[in-house]
Amino acid sequence: MENPPIDIFGLTILEPITSLTAVLVSIVCLYAFFQLSKLPRHDRVHHFFRYYFLSMAVATAVGGIIGHAFLYAFTFAWKLPGWITSMCSIALIERASIEHARPLIRPAVGRFFAVMNIVELLTFLTVVFLTLDFFFVEAHSFYGLMIVVFSFQGYDYYRTHNEGSRYVLYAVGVMAVSALIFMNELAISRWFNHFDISHVLMAIAAWLFYQGARRLQPLQRQSDVVSRSRREAVAEKS
């Protein structure tokens, strides 16, 4: 059930509310990117989150403008730029979660999931290129958010009660609700359909991800903390 098209000064806009709500997600993500860029942090987790927001801003803007509003001026394949960029953004937030959890897990586990992060992205990108099927974009998002991000941030929160991880988990929960609404095509009306509701929830999730990213602080390996404590104790005795 798509939004009816509208004409503004002779310019036809398809799915106007869907396009507008997609741009809303982009605006929230751009705000998050610029705000995070102002923070005096240079750790890898922070960088991965920043570029997650930047790439998601591009993906949702391109998706809203080309993939919905003016798709009649392009071929269906022009949906690919938005899809591909969104998949890269999911891979970035996966990597941010993996990197943040590394001090809490075995080095081999961290290396394995870091490699899997790249293999998984390349695999799904190949399938999407070959099929031009949005289902595989959804499948990649499900794996990235519900399996990788939820698992690593959940473990972080279990071990450290980090407030940032809690916000990220809230965001994943909102994204899960958004996905359910999208898949079941739950709509209020033609003018506020499942795309629109899903986009509004994605904007809320983006805000929660931003709040989480602001609060996530680099963790230290327990062995490093113990070693430093011992060195400080020896220094005090001497």
The amino acid present at 32, given as its one-letter code, is A
- Residue 115 phi/psi, 5-degree rounding, is -70, -45
First to last CA, the chain: 76
pLDDT at 231: 43
Q: Kindly tell me if the per-residue pLDDT of 229 is higher than 50.
A: no
Q: What are the boundaries of each domain within the chain?
A: 10-237
**Domain covering 10-237: architecture:** Up-down Bundle (1.20)
Highest-confidence segment of 74-78, 123-127, 232-236: 123-127
Q: Kindly tell me if the per-residue pLDDT of 153 is higher than 50.
A: yes
Summarised one tens digit per residue, pLDDT across range 204-214 is: 999 999 999 99
Q: Using alpha carbons only, what angle is made at residue 122 by residues 117 and 126, rounded to the nearest 5 degrees?
A: 150
Least confident of 148-152, 226-230, 232-236: 226-230
Please state, in angstroms and rounded to a whole number, the distance separating the CA atoms of residues 109 and 132. Answer: 33
- Residues forming beta bridges with residue 8, ordered by sequence position: 11
Q: Which two tokens stand for residue 76?
A: 């269906």
How deeply is 145 buried, as exposed, middle or buried, from its count of CB atoms within 10 A (0-12, 13-18, 19+)?
A: buried
Mean local confidence (pLDDT), 67-74: 92
pLDDT at 237: 52
Least confident of 2-16, 108-122, 156-170: 2-16
Instruction: Give the distance from CA 43 to its chain's centroid.
Output: 18
Summarised one tens digit per residue, pLDDT across range 108-117 is: 999 999 999 9
Instruction: Give the distance from CA 32 to its chain's centroid.
Output: 12
Question: Is residue 175 a contact partner of residue 203, using CB atoms and an 8 Å limit?
Answer: no
Summarised one tens digit per residue, pLDDT across range 39-70 is: 999 899 999 999 999 999 999 999 999 999 99
